[in-house]
Structure 1
Amino acid sequence: MSEHELSPSGSFEHPVVTMRGPGDMVDALPFLLGFFPSDSIVALGLQGPRRRQGGTVRVDIPEAQVWPAAAEEVARFLVALSEHRDRSPDAVILYLCRDPAPGRSGRQVCEELRPLAALLAGAFRAAGIAVHDSLCVSEGRWWSYACDNSACCAEEGTPVDRPGSTPAVAAAAAYAGIRVRGSLKELHQELEPVAAPSAEIQLRAFEEAVPALVEELGRRGGREGVRERTVELVDAAVSRFRDGAAELPPVEAARLVLGLQDRVARDRAAEWLDPPDVGHAQRLWRFLARCCAVPFDSQAAAPLSLLGWTAWVTGDQVTARVALGRALVADPDYTFAQLLYQAVNSGAEPYDLCATLRDERRSRQRRGSGRRPGGRTRSRRGGRDRCDGGVYRQ
């Protein structure tokens, strides 16, 4: 098997690691993504004669009946992503990651996913992209669909953690300050709605807040009044989180979630993008998203999108992708989440959007119809605001 090179973060400013076989490829995967994928298809593009790392796509493994369409979509998306950044990949490494259900084994998972691996390989070859390797990772072991040599790929699989060894990619990632954030499943669990009995308390709060909001909207100038009141509540909530709060009273949380369904109010909330308050705002959006249990689960799209936005601004692309992905599960037609998700996955930077929000805030201040969140100013070196993940990483 030929060698190829990659940087754990996808940036050539970080140490480049040479991958010499499928074991190294499996070692690299969580460092490439920032988490351990579960129930995932991952396609890693490779470019040039030395097979350097290109774009990376991760999607959930769908139901078997849609595998053909999913395989074509993954290939299409990786090509589009790679061409947006640079050019189409010359080759691809495919990963299928799934832990077995109770009573099943990793080997059985490998066989169950073999048809999906074949469909993915076929879709990429149809797009003119060679398959460098195709791997299944399950139950702490890996198998190669592209290798039938029992000397290097045992039927029972190869342990992911090889005793007495420190993977080169792990050492490079430690040097570069890159860390793995746990499993994808754990990251999703951090954003799950609150469980009983808190869910019942929050549901009653929503049921109380809805008629009160309807009454507000029914007044003269009601929509504008609701919008301004929502902005005031957001400002006050961020201030409380700045002072150490970890939650809000249920009725207040419900009123905030409902108010953020208004696009203008949500965009005003997105102005909390500068340190140190962007970190407090992130904790608020996470808290509000978890308040949205059924039947108000679709309302979580707004706070989840705001969480994804602030994560993107601060350079935390792992949280940005997870939060925005969950926002689109809550409401697949939520345009704000769609646009942000596309921007993050295409490798775009948030600088222009940050500048636009700051300009809108300043214009509103000049008109005397609004104020900067928190009512404070921040000194800026050289007179310029920056929206830099390296500077603002929390």
Structure 2
Amino acid sequence: MTHHDTDRPDGRDTSTDPTTRQTPVITLTGVGDTLAAIPHLLGFHPTDSVMLLSGTQRGAPLSRTMRADLPPDHLVDVVAHDITASLADDDVSSALLVIVGGHDGCAEGGAASGGVRGGDGSAGELPPCARLVDALRRNLAVLGVTEVAAYWVPEIAADVWYRSYDDATRTGVVSDPASSVLAAEFASRGYVTYGSRAELASLLAPDGESELARRAELIETLRADVVETWPRAARVAVVRDALSAAGEGDLAFSDRQLATLAIVLADVEIRDACLATALPPDSDLAFAAASLWGELTRALPAPERAIPACLAGYAAYMGGNGVLAAIAFDAALDADPDHTLAGLLDRALRHGFPPRQLRPLATHDTVGLCAGEWLRDSA
């Protein structure tokens, strides 16, 4: 499967949320600094990946950072089109292409001439994946983006040599990702940069098969009783209690509690009300909700885990963590391929819709789940 990720854009829209802190302005000076920033922009250290960093004008903040797995040769044109298609409405004027890795199964040779410098700065072989770089440039040119730089690096780590696809003399070393100003800023705001996408995805990995099977059986046993005899107010109270517990750091739910939550969240009005917990993204409620949805995504069997995974994805999307949102939507659609809301949100994310355009989804709390100060009062 080819993963297509967007960044966790700290430049999220704050125009309607005065409580959100302003995004700091951090200037990246040179290719080495920019490469070192990529893991923090994505939320993980990419391997065997192609990145496209786009800008709307010189000196302005990056408008988008996108990543995809390096494709096999026969899918180069498809992946190049998929990566660039979402930029059509962005008024992009410049782009930076970065290939990480690619020694195995990636097209070799291409744009550069006269060789490039090797790992010690000496002349060496052409960078891999040049055909992919060429395909991306063709697609960007169709969009009117002709200012495109392209670099290859075997991995993003301190003192690793990078190479240009255009100029054999344009080479240098990557700055230390761990000691950059961007790393310090992200760490101060509670962001974690993971060692790999798989490590990040493990945050939502399901529990063991025996546990899931036991809970699936319990869900079937309880479903009729909860749906038919519990009034909606009682079902809303179940979610409120779980959110309060998550807000206190208590995620040790019993199998019966987990099964009940799975049944309650299947109520579309309650599910839609839960979307409202994602805003504002820096609130205590949003953090508590994100913890709860993550726990339920891990703890519930398919297809029930699709709903909390979708809610986890929406929370991550609104919080600017595009990669975690993509992972959550993948989990939701894996659990239930026909889950309509997860499918719509996944497509919106992959087509580059900014979070502000999806905020109206968080305005349909018809059951009063987020009314008042109940979360604070219950602490």
How does the TM-score come out when normalised to structure 1? 0.67
Aligned equivalent of 1:353, options 337, 340, 360: 360
Tell me how large the CA RMSD over aligned residues is. Answer: 4.1
Contact kept in structure 1, 2:28 and 2:34, CA below 8 Å: no
Bigger relative contact order, structure 1 or 2 (CA pairs below 8 A, ≥6 apart): 2
Aligned equivalent of 2:150, options 131, 134, 145: 134
Deviation at 1:278, TM superposition (A): 3.2
For 1:91, the equivalent position in structure 2 comes to 94
Mapped to 2, the partners of 1:212 and 1:351 lie a distance apart of 34
Deviation at 1:18, TM superposition (A): 4.7
Deviation at 1:206, TM superposition (A): 0.7
Aligned AA for 1:186?
Answer: E
List alignment gaps of at least 5 residues for structure 2: 1-8, 13-21, 105-117, 120-125
Matched, 1:288 2:296: yes
- In the alignment of these two chains, the number of paired residues is 332
Distance change (3 Å), C-alpha of 1:281 and 1:348 = closer
For 1:57, the equivalent position in structure 2 comes to 66
Over residues 89-120 of structure 1, what are the superposed CA-to-partner deviations in whole Å (9 max), with x where a residue is unaligned?
Answer: 1221112335878xxxx99xx96533323322
Deviation at 1:204, TM superposition (A): 1.7
Distance change (3 Å), C-alpha of 1:145 and 1:354 = same
Over residues 61-96 of structure 1, what are the superposed CA-to-partner deviations in whole Å (9 max), with x where a residue is unaligned?
Answer: 45543321121121111233x2xxxxx212211123
Distance change (3 Å), C-alpha of 1:10 and 1:373 = closer
Aligned AA for 1:128?
Answer: G
For 2:274, the equivalent position in structure 1 comes to 269
Aligned equivalent of 2:211, options 201, 209, 225: 201
For 1:367, the equivalent position in structure 2 comes to none
Aligned equivalent of 1:144, options 141, 147, 163: 163
Distance change (3 Å), C-alpha of 1:247 and 1:113 = farther
Distance change (3 Å), C-alpha of 1:137 and 1:10 = farther
Contact kept in structure 1, 2:201 and 2:327, CA below 8 Å: yes
Aligned AA for 2:293?
Answer: W
Mapped to 1, the partners of 2:371 and 2:252 lie a distance apart of 19
Contact kept in structure 2, 1:234 and 1:256, CA below 8 Å: yes
Over residues 151-196 of structure 1, what are the superposed CA-to-partner deviations in whole Å (9 max), with x where a residue is unaligned?
Answer: 443xxxx65346xx997xx22563585655224332111111124x
List alignment gaps of at least 5 residues for structure 1: 1-7, 83-87, 363-370, 380-394
**Partner SS for 2:304:** helix
Deviation at 1:289, TM superposition (A): 0.3
Contact kept in structure 1, 2:219 and 2:262, CA below 8 Å: no
Aligned sequence identity (%): 24
Aligned equivalent of 1:191, options 204, 212, 225: 204
Aligned equivalent of 1:181, options 193, 203, 216: 193
Deviation at 1:225, TM superposition (A): 4.7
Contact kept in structure 1, 2:49 and 2:102, CA below 8 Å: no
Deviation at 1:350, TM superposition (A): 7.3
Contact kept in structure 2, 1:94 and 1:131, CA below 8 Å: no
Contact kept in structure 2, 1:41 and 1:95, CA below 8 Å: yes
For 1:250, the equivalent position in structure 2 comes to 255
Aligned equivalent of 1:114, options 124, 130, 135: 130
Mapped to 2, the partners of 1:321 and 1:314 lie a distance apart of 13
How does the TM-score come out when normalised to structure 2? 0.70
